[in-house]
A = this chain, B = another copy of it.
Amino acid sequence: MWRSIGFVALNILTVLGRDVSEVLKERKNLLETEMSMMLGRDIILSDSEIKANEIIMNLKYEVIDNGCRDPGVFNLSKHFFEYKEEIKKTTLYKIIKAMPKGAVLHAHDTALLDADYILELTYLPDLYVCFQEEYPLFLFSEDKPRSTCDTRWQLLKEARYSSGNVEKFDAELRKHFTIEVDNPKAVYSNINTVWNKFQQVFIITEPLFSYKPVWEKYFYDSLKKFREDNVMYIEIRSVLPQLYDLEGNIYDIKDTAVSYKNVLDQFKKDYPDFFGAKLIYAPLKFVNDISEYIKTAKELKNMLPTFFAGFDLVGQEDTMVPLKKYMRELVEAEKDLDFFLHAGETNWYGTDSDENIADAIVLNTKRIGHAFALTKHPLLLKEVKKRNIAIEVNVISNNVLKLVDDVRNHPLATFLAIDAPVVISCDDPGLWGAEPLTHDFYVAFVGVASKHADLRVLKKLALNSLYYSTIYDKDKLVHEFDIRWTKFIDSIVRDVNASS
C-alpha cells in the first residue's frame, strides 16, 4: 500500500519535472561546498590579497587555458627536466619565488645543491680522483690516497689539465653529480633504473661532502640558497656520515651533527632573519637491526636537544626493509624519539612498501614522508587527518623518481581537495636541478591543484609548513611570516600598479 502511494507520488514528480534553476542551484551548491572543503578554506583574504590574487589567478588561468586548448604547450604534464628552465622565466614563477614559503620539512642534506655547485667543489685543492669504469672515486688528501682504486689515484687538478679539454672534462665529471639527462623517459625506463642512478650520485659525492671543510661549507651554502628562495626554516634529514680531514682524522658521526649545529649558529649570526634548522637523523633502512641507529639518535637528542628533531629511515622503499620488521625497536624508541617516517613512496598497492603507511601511523609518526600511496587507503587517509599527521608531499621528486608521469594525476590533488594536513617540500632538489622550493610550489599550484585553487592555497601551504614544523617558538615564526607575507602582497600589487 505504502509502496504504491510512493510510486504514484514519484510518478507525479516525474511527470511534472524539475525546474532548471533548481538543478543549476544544486550543481552550484555541490561545487561550492567542495570549494569550501579545500585546503585554504579557513584563509580570509584582505583587500590587498584579493588584488594580488586576481593577478596571480589570471596568470594561472592563462597557463591552464592555453594547456586545455593545446595540451602540447602545457609543460607541467611533461617530465620535469623538459620544462624546469622554461618556467623560471614566467611572471607567475617569479611571484612564487618572491613569496615567503615558510619551512622546508622534507629534504635530504646532501642533495640540496646542484651539479654546478658540486663541480665547483672539485676545484678545491688536495682533491684526488680515481677514474673507474662505472664511476669515479674522490678523496681529499695531503698525499696520494692508499685506498683501493681500480686504476690509479691522481690529483684532480692534474687530471683536469692533462685532459687537454677542460670544458669537456668538466662536462663529463658533472654528469656524475646529477640525475639530469636529455631524454629521461628513455634513459630511466622504470623506477629501479632511476633509483640506481639516484643512489649512485649519493655514493659518488659522499667522499666529497664528508670532507669536513666541504661538509660545513655545503651546509652553509645550502642554508644561503634556501634563504634566498624565501624559505625561513628547514628540517633536514641526514644519514650523518663520518667526516674526515687532511690530517687523517675520522670523526664520530655525532661530530657530524655538531658540525651542522656550529654552521647553523654561524649562519644565523650572518643572517639573523633566518629562523634556523633542525636535524632528522635518517639512516638507510637496509640493515637487519636498527638498535645502533636508535642508540645514536638518543645520544644526538641528549647532546643537541634544541637542534635534534627526530628519527627516520630512508632508501628506495620497494627494495628495502619494510617498517614492520623494525617494529619492536621503533616501539621501544617512541618514548624517547619523535618519528618522521618515510612511507608509501610507491605505486605497488597492497605491498609492504604500500603498507608502511599503516606502520608509520601506528608508530605515531609526527609527519609522513611522501605517503604517495595514501589515496588508495581510505581508512589510513582518515586516520592521518584525524591524528593530524602532516603529509610531506614532494611532487617533483615523485615525477623524476618515476612514481607519476603526469603530475595532474598526483595524489596531492586529492589531499588538497579534502584539506588534508599537507606540506609541500623538495626532497632532493640538487639532484634534479630544481630551485630549493619554488619549483615544487609552482608545480603543485599550477600543475596539480584545481584551476580554482588560489592564493589561499598558497598561503595555507606556507602556513602548514610552519605549523607542522618542530620549531619551539611557532608564534614568533608565524608573526614574522605575516610581516613578510604582507610585504610580498604589497609588492605584487605595487608592481602591477607601477606597470599599468
Residues of A participating in the B interface, judged by any CB pair closer than 8 Å: 14-20, 23-24, 26-27, 30-31, 33-34, 37, 64, 67-68, 70-72, 74, 77, 185, 189-193, 318, 324, 327-328, 331-332, 334-335, 347-351, 354-355, 358-359, 361-363, 375-380, 383, 403-406, 408-409, 413-414, 417-418, 448-453
User: Is the contact region of chain A dominated by helix, strand, or loop, or is it mixed?
Assistant: helix
Q: Which of A20, A362, A375 has the most CB of B within 10 A?
A: A362
Number of copies: 2
Contact (A379, B192) CB under 8 Å given A347-B77, A351-B64: no
Task: Collect the chain B residues with CB atoms within 8 Å of residue A34's CB.
Answer: 377-380
Check A348–B380 contact: CB distance below 8 A. Answer: no
Check B379–A37 contact: CB distance below 8 A. Answer: yes
Q: Rank and list the top 10 A-B pairs by shortest CB-CB distance, nearest first.
A: A350-B451, A350-B450, A71-B190, A347-B408, A405-B405, A20-B331, A17-B335, A350-B452, A26-B362, A34-B379
Check B190–A363 contact: CB distance below 8 A. Answer: no
Interchain CB contact (< 8 A) of A334 among B17, B327, B405:
B17
Check A348–B417 contact: CB distance below 8 A. Answer: no
Check B383–A72 contact: CB distance below 8 A. Answer: no
Report how far A356 CA is from B355 CA in the complex, Å. Answer: 34
Interchain CB contact (< 8 A) of A348 among B347, B405, B408:
B408
Contact (A193, B413) CB under 8 Å given A332-B17, A408-B348: no
Check B417–A376 contact: CB distance below 8 A. Answer: yes
Closest residue of B by beta carbon distance from A38: B378
Check A409–B408 contact: CB distance below 8 A. Answer: no
Check B77–A358 contact: CB distance below 8 A. Answer: no
Contact (A18, B418) CB under 8 Å given A68-B351, A377-B34, A451-B351: no
Interchain CB contact (< 8 A) of A363 among B23, B72, B191, B358:
B23
Report how far A50 CA is from B197 CA in the complex, Å. Answer: 44
Interchain CB contact (< 8 A) of A406 among B23, B33, B347, B350:
B347
User: What is the distance, in angstroms, from A321's C-beta to the closest C-beta of chain B?
Assistant: 14
Check B362–A30 contact: CB distance below 8 A. Answer: yes
Check A362–B27 contact: CB distance below 8 A. Answer: yes
Check B17–A451 contact: CB distance below 8 A. Answer: no
Report how far A418 CA is from B414 CA in the complex, Å. Answer: 14
Check A359–B17 contact: CB distance below 8 A. Answer: no
Task: Collect the chain B residues with CB atoms within 8 Å of residue A448's CB.
Answer: 349
Check B71–A23 contact: CB distance below 8 A. Answer: no
Closest residue of B by beta carbon distance from A331: B20
Interchain CB contact (< 8 A) of A30 among B74, B193, B358, B413:
B358
Check B30–A192 contact: CB distance below 8 A. Answer: no
